[in-house]
């Protein structure tokens, strides 16, 4: 095991690393200045923490094309937001449409709702992980309540036809929920312009925030329909024993992760200062270099579209005759290259790709990756496959 080799981090789709230095500074800065309980006590430290949280809410709303920051609720991660949306809006007798490329954070809440009396259509994507929007339209029934879709696959990086699906949903009066866990900060998102009713994102991937942060956007009026998953103290309407009806308090009971949200604010600032388009352009160049290099390697099979224009930098591959877990282990121990092997919490995606049950080796990266990392990964794969 060579511990002297620099670490090449290719597990961005699980969580981004390294973080911009400002993220750690924002977290410790708030803790050191006096991280009091926001919206509760009324003293100046409490007000200051509440101000910090509001400024991050406003920055996140701005980045995601949401005109009213109060429509955005902070959550612990994307999983929490997805559970809130599914369990709060889908009832027994409702029908939901999703794709075969979803993460278990979508699939498991949906399967639980199915067991509780809702019905589910899982639309089969092709071997590239591509969804045909016409399938969505033809699957809508009178009782269809929601279409829920990942923005980009966490297995193949394939970008879904979000705008086409949103248009169908709007036309047919069905709720459209987008899981932007892999794309917030990596692809331009304009929630209102794209016709998204519910957006869920995580803070610790392409927004470069710490783990334990994320959010959910809810279109105006949906708070009358979405039952809160958690109920509790909000610091507002304390004389009432029922959950407040207004946003964001309705869905933010309990003391928030204020230090984490401060860190997320610094991550969002990093993305905003660089510009999502610039980040995207840099990531595409790296992705193209990686895919071109992979195409020259014998015994390496790339799953998904393999087309940098239709994907984010998440690349699943197999080496003929080798278990993904062994490949990842050798990459870590011999080359200090961090990847993820297996099913990546998306078994249906692997059934779609034909990589179930062994899974794949996933290389995922962000804008802090460089060409040297890409070349080192290609060289290591060449040696391992050879
Ligand atoms: C597409 C997708 N959805 C949801 C999630 C869940 O995100 P979190 O772990 O932040 O809850 C992930 C995490 O990898 C993901 O890739």
Please check whether residue 117 is in contact with residue 111, taking contact to mean a CB–CB distance below 8 angstroms.
Answer: no
Residue-wise pLDDT tens for the chain (386 aa)?
A: 556 789 999 999 999 999 999 999 999 999 999 999 999 999 999 999 999 999 999 999 999 999 999 999 999 999 999 999 999 999 999 999 999 999 999 999 999 999 999 999 999 999 999 999 999 999 999 999 999 999 999 999 999 999 999 999 999 999 999 999 999 999 999 999 999 999 999 999 999 999 999 999 999 999 999 999 999 999 999 999 999 999 999 999 999 999 999 999 999 999 999 999 999 999 999 999 999 999 999 999 999 999 999 999 999 999 999 999 999 999 999 999 999 999 999 999 999 999 999 999 999 999 999 999 999 999 999 999 99
Interval between CA 183 and ligand 1 midpoint (Å): 10
| Judgement on whether residues 107 and 40 belong to the same structural domain of the protein | yes
Interval between CA 1 and ligand 1 midpoint (Å): 31
Residue 245 lies in a domain: yes
| Judgement on whether residues 196 and 207 belong to the same structural domain of the protein | yes
| Judgement on whether residues 254 and 337 belong to the same structural domain of the protein | no
Interval between CA 168 and ligand 1 midpoint (Å): 25
Domain boundary among 242, 274, 306: 274
pLDDT tens string 293-329: 999 999 999 999 999 999 999 999 999 999 999 999 9
Q: Which of 154, 205, 362 to mutate to test the pocket of ligand 1 (most atoms within 8 A of CB)?
A: 154
Residue 2 lies in a domain: no
pLDDT tens string 371-384: 999 999 999 999 99
CA distances from 354 to 127, 239, 269, 317, 351 (A): 8, 57, 40, 12, 5
| Judgement on whether residues 239 and 378 belong to the same structural domain of the protein | no
| Judgement on whether residues 175 and 321 belong to the same structural domain of the protein | no
| Judgement on whether residues 265 and 311 belong to the same structural domain of the protein | no
| Judgement on whether residues 329 and 183 belong to the same structural domain of the protein | no
Domain boundary among 274, 302, 324: 274
Count of domains observed in the chain: 2
Does ligand 1 have an atom closer than 6 angstroms to the CB of 77?
yes
| SS3 at position 215 | strand
Residue 3 lies in a domain: no
Q: Which of 14, 15, 79, 98 to mutate to test the pocket of ligand 1 (most atoms within 8 A of CB)?
A: 79
| Judgement on whether residues 269 and 280 belong to the same structural domain of the protein | no
Cβ-count burial 184-221 (b if 16+ within 10 Å, e if not): bbbbbbebeebbbbbbbbbbbbbbbbbbbbbbbbbbee
| Judgement on whether residues 197 and 88 belong to the same structural domain of the protein | yes
- The CATH number covering residue 44 comes to 3.40.640.10
Interval between CA 34 and ligand 1 midpoint (Å): 31
Catalytic residues: 345
| Judgement on whether residues 116 and 260 belong to the same structural domain of the protein | yes
Residue nearest to atom 12 of ligand 1 (CA): 181
Q: Which of 153, 202, 211, 366 to mutate to test the pocket of ligand 1 (most atoms within 8 A of CB)?
A: 202
Whole-model pTM above 0.95?
Answer: yes
Domain boundary among 249, 274, 299: 274
Q: Give burial (CB, 10 Å; 0-12/13-18/19+) of 289.
A: middle
Domain containing 381: what range?
8-19+275-385
| Judgement on whether residues 240 and 313 belong to the same structural domain of the protein | no
């Amino acid at each position: 095991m060579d511990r002297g080799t620099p670490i090449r981090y290719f597990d961005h789709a699980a969580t981004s690393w390294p973080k911009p230095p400002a993220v750690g500074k924002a977290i410790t800065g708030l803790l050191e200045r006096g991280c009091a309980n926001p919206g509760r006590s009324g003293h100046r430290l409490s007000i200051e923490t509440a101000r910090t949280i509001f400024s991050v809410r406003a920055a996140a709303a701005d980045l995601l094309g949401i005109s009213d920051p109060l429509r955005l609720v902070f959550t612990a991660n994307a999983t929490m937001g997805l559970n809130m949306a599914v369990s709060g809006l889908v009832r027994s007798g409702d029908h939901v449409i999703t794709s075969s490329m979803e993460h278990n954070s979508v699939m498991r809440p949906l399967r639980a709702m199915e067991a509780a009396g809702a019905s589910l259509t899982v639309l089969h994507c092709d071997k590239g992980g591509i969804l045909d929007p016409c399938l969505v339209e033809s699957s809508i029934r009178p009782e269809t309540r929601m279409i829920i879709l990942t923005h980009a696959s966490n297995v193949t990086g394939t970008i879904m036809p979000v705008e086409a699906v949103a248009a169908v949903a709007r036309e047919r009066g069905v709720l459209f929920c987008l899981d932007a866990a892999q794309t917030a900060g990596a692809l331009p998102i304009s929630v209102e312009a794209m016709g998204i009713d519910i957006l869920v994102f995580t803070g610790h991937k392409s927004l470069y925030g710490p783990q334990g942060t994320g959010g959910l956007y809810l279109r105006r009026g949906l708070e009358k329909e979405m039952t809160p998953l958690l109920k509790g103290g909000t610091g507002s309407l304390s004389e009432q024993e029922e959950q407040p009806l207004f946003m964001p308090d309705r869905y933010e009971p309990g003391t928030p992760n204020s230090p984490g949200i401060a860190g997320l604010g610094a991550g969002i600032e990093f993305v905003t200062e660089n510009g999502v388009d610039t980040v995207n352009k840099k990531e595409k160049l790296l992705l193209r270099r990686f895919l071109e290099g992979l195409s020259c390697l014998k015994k390496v099979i790339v799953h998904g579209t393999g087309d940098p224009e239709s994907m984010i930098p998440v690349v699943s591959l197999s080496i003929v005759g080798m278990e993904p877990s062994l490949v990842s282990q050798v990459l870590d121990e011999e080359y200090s290259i961090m990847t993820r092997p297996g099913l990546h919490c998306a078994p249906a995606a692997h059934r779609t790709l034909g990589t179930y049950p062994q899974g794949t080796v996933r290389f995922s990266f962000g804008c802090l990756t460089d060409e040297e990392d890409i070349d080192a990964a290609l060289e290591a794969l060449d040696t391992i496959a050879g």
